[in-house]
Amino acid sequence: MGKFNDRIALITGASTGVGFGIAQKLHSLGATVVITGRNQLTLTQAAKEIDPTGQRISTIKMDVANAQDFKATIEKIEQQYGALHYLVNNAGITGPHGVNVEDYPLKAWHDVVATDITGTFHGLKYSIPSILRSGGGAIVNLSACNGVTGIAGIAPYTAAKHAVLGLTRSVALENAQKGIRINAVGPGYVQTPNIERLPQATQEWMSSTHPMGRMATREEIANVVAFLLSDESSFMTGAFIPIDGGYTAQ
């Protein structure tokens, strides 16, 4: 894996879960990481775990659905570090599960769209100029295995993750000759601390949906994200890589 020394990476929604694992991986490869989230306490705890010295990590409390929050975050990063090279649009919410679209609460629909689609749009809109000013770099958007399949009961989340792929492909084409590569990944179920708090029967069901018979680890997702950000994937843009234990092969 290529090294990320002297590179600045922004990972949204990185105080817990998959985003935390990605931040941890990029930091281990030499990057200075900026992690964002809506809860300052969990951000501070995550930062201490990733880098107890605090030398190559910083936190910014923000909501990706808020355009001014995202714009201000990019400005803070440029003021503090003078550059931005990588963005991982990880922040997302699933909304209610097991609810048919005719019964789906309107507020929940708007919340999912605002975070998962508009939040990704904000990341692209405000980060791309900064990355260009820094000499180029790469972006990875988090879609999901249901970014290319349908799943009953979570139609808004499924629609949002399909939309993330549309954004990825269109914006990758817009920037194909400008020095920014933009790709997407599609995780299946991932063994995160939040998932581990679910009933054992639920975890077993999640594992069973993958032909490999288990969930992904956070490191397995982070490894692919790091590859897509690195120069080792230098001829890849507009791509979608499932990391789903065979889910989308069914």
pLDDT digits (tens, 9 = 90+) for 122-181: 999 999 999 999 999 999 999 999 999 999 999 999 999 999 999 999 999 999 999 999
CA distances to 81, 154, 174 from 48, rounded to whole Å, are 19, 35, 38
Q: What is the pTM of this model?
A: 0.96
For the chain, give the percent of residues with pLDDT over 90.
97
CA distances from 234 to 32, 194, 222, 230 (A): 21, 34, 18, 7
Give the pLDDT band (50/70/90) at residue 242. very high
Q: What angle do CA 108, 113, 119 make, to 5 degrees?
A: 130
CA distances from 167 to 41, 78, 125, 147, 224 (A): 32, 25, 11, 12, 20
Q: What is the pLDDT of residue 112?
A: 97
**Residue 215 is encoded by which pair of tokens?**
């969930």
217 with 244: CB under 8 angstroms?
Answer: no
Instruction: Convert the pLDDT of each residue in 43-99 to its tens digit.
Output: 999 999 999 999 999 999 999 999 999 999 999 999 999 999 999 999 999 999 999
- Please, are residues 95 and 115 in contact by the beta-carbon 8 Å criterion? no
Contact of 169 with 186, CB cutoff 8 Å: no
Residue 37 backbone dihedrals phi, psi, to 5 degrees: 180, 180
Catalytic residue (one of 86, 157, 189, 247): 157
Instruction: Give the Cα separation of 239 and 242 in Å (integer).
Output: 10
Q: Is 81 a catalytic site residue?
A: no
pLDDT at 1 over 80: no
